[in-house]
Amino acid sequence: MGNIKKLAVLVSGNGSNLQSIIDSINIGEINANISLVISNIETAYALTRAKKENLNSAFLNHKNFSSRESFDQALSELLIKHEVDLIVLAGFMRILSNSFIEKFNKKIINIHPSLLPKYPGLKTHEKVMNNNDNYHGVTIHLVDEGLDSGPIIAQARFKATKYKDIDSLISKVHSIEHKLYPLIIKMIIEGEINLNELSGKNFKCYEDELDL
């Protein structure tokens, strides 16, 4: 396969993080190709983004499968067929089965809009505002069998108290996501980050937009 790695990006929604990865590849920042974009939602705008870039894409309807395992089996067959090196979750609203995670051990990364281990799951922005947290941010982590519990690869944080409403807070998080995710993918591709050697403790930390 040479030095150019093959990525699969799994999406369920708008796909703005997918777009940031596409843009970074197009300008030569990331030495990789997106071999496949997969969504479990047919109307996800992320699929439109993929089509505009002439990327291979697939709609895999989870409602057509009798179990999580059978859906994940179909998903894994697609990924194996395209010989992907790294699976990037970018707003993929499905919990993956243990068997799937074992099959692609240390090859799946996710981005989460909180400073994990704080606020796994949904409604992270609301929790930050309701608790008057001083800081909010973004975490990129390796996917394991738990909910947003895998070893942390990188975090970027900012002063949440500067943002007085949830829309501005969310907008800030998105702006950081769109810089941090391509940067970390680049580091993984170039070997600066080794997913096989993560401790989850000595992860990369970024303050606000600094160095992003």
Q: Kindly list the catalytic residues.
A: 112
Q: What is the rounded CA–CA span in Å between residue 193 and residue 187?
A: 6
What secondary structure letter does DSSP report for 88?
A: E
Helices (H), the chain: 16-26, 45-52, 68-81, 98-103, 124-130, 166-189
Please give the Cα distance from 119 to 139 (Å, whole number): 11
Residue 129 is which amino acid? M
209: CB partners within 8 A, 6+ apart:
158, 175, 176, 179
In whole angstroms, give the CA distance from residue 172 to residue 209.
10
Under 8 Å between Cβ of 48 and 208: no
Enumerate residues 6+ apart whose C-beta is below 8 A from 139.
111, 112, 114, 115, 116, 148, 152, 154, 155
- C-alpha angle 63/95/98, rounded to 5°? 110
148: alpha, beta or left? (left if phi > 0; alpha if psi -120 to 50): left
